[in-house]
Amino acid sequence: MLQGICKWLLYKKGGWKKDVTEPHPEKYIICLAPHTSNWDFVIGQLYMRAEGFKINFLMKREWFVWPLGIFLKKIGGIPVSRSVHAKMTDQLSDIAKVRDTFSLCITPEGTRSRNPNWKKGFYYIALKAKIPILLYGLDYKRHLIQCNRTLIPTGNIDADMKIIKNYFKNYSGLHPDLFTTGD
């Protein structure tokens, strides 16, 4: 029932379309951009439930206060302290290695503000765990959720980040002026 409500809200009422050609393996990271508004979270949650996915997400620890924290954890939220990045990527890659299934959505900008210096934690988690990165674009101008590319991290972070950023160049966030790939 929840899945039907989310489909109706997202696709019928909201007018969103999806163009997802990439398969979702048992283990993967979703790199989602642009991230310019809190509405991105709402659209992502509706999409995940409409499509029947269970995907975890990272969110700054400050959001996890009572009672909101209980709700956020229940829907897949993982609190992150911005001061301990290395430990978090190691922990998440270790979890991904031992679990049968693992899916995590990360917004590489790390903020809703304009940021040309994208965070690379999602890349390091995927590289260490040897899992693919699905590139998901959220385009408000076209009302389109799109995933037409999967990247297997090679270890050449500069070349791989260039591919990733290039993929997102033509997407328009809710606030387009707050999105940049840094080029």
Reported as a single tens digit per residue, the pLDDT across 70-117 is 988 887 787 777 665 558 888 889 888 998 999 999 999 877 778 888
Q: Which of 43, 57, 33, 32 has the alpha carbon at shortest distance from 6?
A: 43
Domain presence at residue 183: no
Q: Report pLDDT for 161.
A: 96
Domain presence at residue 181: no
Higher per-residue confidence, 170 vs 95: 170
Domain presence at residue 43: yes
Domain presence at residue 119: yes
User: Which structural domain, as residue segments, surrounds residue 46?
Assistant: 2-174
* Cβ proximity of 88 and 78 under 8 Å: no
Domain presence at residue 26: yes
Average pLDDT rounded to a whole number, residues 31-60: 91
Domain presence at residue 38: yes
pTM greater than the 0.85 cutoff: yes
Give the count of alpha carbons within 13 A of 88, CB side only: 20
Domain presence at residue 109: yes
Residue 127 pLDDT > 60:
yes
Give how many domains the chain has, as a whole number. 1
Domain presence at residue 32: yes
Give 12-23 pLDDT, tens digit per residue: 999 999 999 999
